[in-house]
Amino acid sequence: AQSVTQLGSHVSVSEGALVLLRCNYSSSVPPYLFWYVQYPNQGLQLLLKYTSAATLVKGINGFEAEFKKSETSFHLTKPSAHMSDAAEYFCAAQRGGGFKTIFGAGTRLFVKA
Amino acid sequence: DAMVIQNPRYQVTQFGKPVTLSCSQTLNHNVMYWYQQKSSQAPKLLFHYYDKDFNNEADTPDNFQSRRPNTSFCFLDIRSPGLGDAAMYLCATSRVGEGNTEAFFGQGTRLTVV
């Protein structure tokens, strides 16, 4: 069965510092992988997606993620955190062409001034 | 702009009183989903429609029903809301059958049960 694990339910960084949010997936076949962001009382917004093209994926708001098959990881990074990045981030996986998107438990990012 | 719209954004209902949440989309996507998200948790899939075909998740309570009268609209009916059904309900759509199958989410409806 496919699953998504996000390491760390809470991550706190200082403004301007590197953001690293960790995600590992478990699947015998690399799935489609996504990162979504959710602001309070809002729906989920797609940050970026991996669909077996480039392993380094660039998304919106300066975020990027690298797919590493050997590590079954898809960690999300941003070189310099901004206060507006404070939100909940969800890593998600989907088998190609499938209906079900499996979400990780989420990581809440706090950004300190 | 093409989008997924949920109404209302906030809904208060009485314990045991049926309530309906609505979702519409202008993306012409063939799949529509309903997720339940409780505080500080990941969204949990309740069911989805692939065109007119309804697919219920095995652990979705019978209290939750859905209707999709046409491509654009999908409704979530909660027949007898309990206090435990208070949550954010998220509608999403996707176009299965093409390379990009990411889900597009609405803003959600926050349901309060009193």
Distance CA A106, CA A6 (A): 6
Arithmetic mean of pLDDT, A25-34: 80
Q: Which of B33, B42, B36, B41 is nearest to B95 (CA)?
A: B33
Mean pLDDT of A82-94: 94
Cα diameter, chain B: 44
Instruction: Report, as ranges of residue numbers, the positions in chain B whose pLDDT lies below 70.
Output: 1-2, 98-100
Per-residue pLDDT at A50 exceeds 70: yes
pLDDT the model gives residue B96: 78
* Strand bridging mode B87-94 / B109-113: antiparallel
Cα angle A36, B49, A34 (rounded to 5 degrees) comes to: 15
| Contacting residues of B for A99, CB less than 8 Å apart | 31, 48, 50, 55, 94, 96
Determine the Cα–Cα distance for residues B93 and A108; give it in Å rounded to an integer: 25
pLDDT at A97 over 60: no
How far is the alpha carbon of B43 from chain A, nearest alpha carbon, in Å? 7
Of the candidates B42, B48, B108, the beta carbon closest to that of A43 is on: B108
Q: Is the pLDDT of residue A1 over 70?
A: no
